[in-house]
Amino acid sequence: MDSYINSVDFFKGNKPEDIAAQYGTPLYVYNEDILRNCMRTVKNIITKYPYTANFSIKANSNLHIIKIAIEEGLNCDAVSINEAKILLHAGQSKEKIFFVPNNVSEEELQEAIDLGIMTALDSLDQLERYGKLNKGGRCAIRLNPGVGAGHHEKVITAGKNTKFAIVDSDLDEAIAIAKKYDLKIVGICQHVGSLFMDPTPFLQAVKNLLYMAKKFDNLEFIDFGGGYGVPYHKLADEQPFDFEGFSKKFEALLDEFISEVGYTPLFKTEPGRYVACESCVLLGRIHATKNNAGKKFAGSDIGMTTLVRPSLYDSHHDIEIIRDNEVVTPANSEVESITVTGNICESGDILCKDRELPVIKTGDLIAVLDAGAYGYSMCSEYNSRFKPAEVLITSNGDTKLIRRRQTLEDLLSLY
């Protein structure tokens, strides 16, 4: 496609330059309709059996976005006690929060116990600690189904070579530890990794986890984790994840399990990226263009502190150029090979390398697509840059500031 922004009318009639003038750049801009649609998609992955979609808020923990998730009836996942507290603050009920931490202190485990939040233990050691703290209590354990999936080695969280979860061969010992403390393991979970477009490894992991589930009788829930991918190469017509086909195969595995064990637990998945990713574009301004010894660069105000994924994972984000409020596309402009960078003093501060893009001019706006997941939530203050602001384009077309930009006072407030 030529332009995602145009194809979905992303700004809902608002002029990008007006938004930039009002709120400044860099700016995370969310579209409420797209966000709610993605939430509804994950909420309905399984319809035949009791099922909840737990929004994994590490992908995006903006309070307003969490509140929309709550309105849409999603449960939520927290990977730190702070995320659990942010969820409670946003109005999520404690029964709908699942805490899936790793390597946490006794104090953090105790806080979760005091808050009454279901916790998944990620190692025998942590299970033992939890047992001592919460004798006779209830918990879940995170299991490694033996297969991983994901877009980068750094985001594959199961299979061999990962710090996460309890392996199959330790399962009996986990059950013994729980017994020692009269702990009831009421749920099991897994998370195989992030961003798969081919569901085969995930479905294999589902199979494996269901196999492990047979070690228990009457689990209250089985949670299969997140990782559903989004097409980051939409401008090259990459197709979305096929939820319809996936759900059929997923349900077939659940059918088989239920008929074998004779009971129906609550099933869960934990999407983070899929929920928030496509609803957001990151707006930035080009402040310089240059030709360094034959190599063309465009320098923007979107540094690796604002969006770290390209620097950290070599991730691809499509970029659209906006000039005079119109999207400049390969169809209406010359293209050239260019490297788009940020404003951080690091040579790895790169948004895209040698990419064929419409000719970029100083003063243009750029829109980095699919920025809603692991975007703002991975921002930093390196180079003493402010974390950016976030704006929501509401369903009725208004723009609403949903998090203000940091200020110098914020940076100085810790002293």
> Is 268 a binder of ligand PLP (CB under 6 A)?
no
270 lies in the site for ligand PLP, by CB under 6 A: yes
Question: How far is the C-alpha of 254 from the C-alpha of 270, rounded, in Å?
Answer: 17
- Residue closer to ligand PLP, measured from CB, 285 or 309: 309
Q: Is 372 in the site for ligand PLP (CB under 6 A)?
A: no
CB 271 to ligand PLP: min, Å: 4
12 vs 36 by CB, closer to ligand PLP: 36
- Binding of ligand PLP at residue 226 (CB under 6 A)? yes
Give the shortest CB-13-to-ligand PLP separation in angstroms.
Answer: 31
44: closest CA among 246, 208, 292, 182?
Answer: 246
Neighbours of 347 (CB within 10 A): 7
- Coil vs helix vs strand at 346: coil
Q: Which of 229, 245, 253, 222 is nearest to 149 (CA)?
A: 229
| Subset of 64-103 contacting ligand PLP (CB under 6 A) | 77, 79, 100
Q: How far is CA 111 from CA 126, 247, 366, in A?
A: 14, 36, 43
By CB under 6 A, tell whether 56 contacts ligand PLP: yes
CB of 54 to ligand PLP, least distance (A): 8
Options 271, 303, 358, 375; binder of ligand PLP; rule CB under 6 A? 271
What is the spatial distance between Cα 39 and Cα 414, in angstroms, rounded to a whole number?
A: 36
146 binds ligand PLP (CB under 6 A): no
**From the CB of 19, what's the least distance to ligand PLP, in Å?**
27
**370 forms part of the interface with ligand PLP (CB under 6 A):** no
Selected from 146, 148, 227, 342, the binder of ligand PLP by CB under 6 A is 227
Residues 6+ apart with CB under 8 A from 47: 247
Cis peptide before 201 (omega within 30 of 0): no
Tell the smallest beta-carbon distance from residue 214 to ligand PLP (Å): 22
Interface mask (CB under 6 A) for ligand PLP, residues 97-116, using x and -? Answer: ---x----------------
Shortest distance, CB of residue 221 to ligand PLP, whole angstroms? 14
For the packed helices 63-71 and 32-43, what is the interaxial angle rounded to 10 degrees?
50
Interaction with ligand PLP in 161-220: which residues (CB under 6 A)?
Answer: 191, 194-195
379 catalytically annotated: no
| CB of residue 375 to ligand PLP, shortest distance in Å | 12
The one segment of 223-231, 235-243, 254-262, 326-334 that binds ligand PLP by CB under 6 A = 223-231
Beta strands in 179-329 (DSSP E): 184-189, 221-223, 266-269, 280-292, 295-300, 319-323, 326-328
Closer by beta carbon to ligand PLP, 56 or else 311: 56
For CA atoms 88, 91, 94, 100, give the dihedral sign.
negative
End-to-end CA distance of the chain: 49
DSSP conformational letter for 362: T
Find the part of the chain contacting ligand PLP (CB under 6 A) among 20-28, 267-275, 304-312, 331-339: 267-275
| Closest to 11 in 3D by CA, of 397, 323, 388 | 397
Structure tokens given for 25? 């750049």
Q: For the chain, what is the radius of gyration of the CA atoms?
A: 23
Per annotation, catalytic residue among 189, 345, 352, 379: 345
When the beta carbons of 312 and 401 are compared against ligand PLP, the nearer one is: 312
Q: How many residues bind ligand PLP (CB under 6 A)?
A: 19
- The residues, any chain, with a CB within 8 Å of residue 356's CB and separated by 6 or more, are 330, 335, 336, 337
List the structure tokens of 111.
Answer: 């806080």
**Contact between 131 and ligand PLP (CB under 6 A)?**
no
Residue 225 as a binder of ligand PLP (CB under 6 A): the answer is yes
Task: Give all strands (DSSP E) within 136-246, no chain letters.
Answer: 138-144, 166-167, 184-189, 221-223
Taking a C-beta distance cutoff of 8 angstroms, is the pair 342, 380 a contact? Answer: no
- Asked if 57 is part of the footprint of ligand PLP (rule: CB under 6 A), the reply reads no
Q: Which residues are catalytic?
A: 345
Can you give the binding site for ligand PLP, defined by CB under 6 A? 56, 58-59, 77, 79, 100, 191, 194-195, 225-228, 270-274, 373
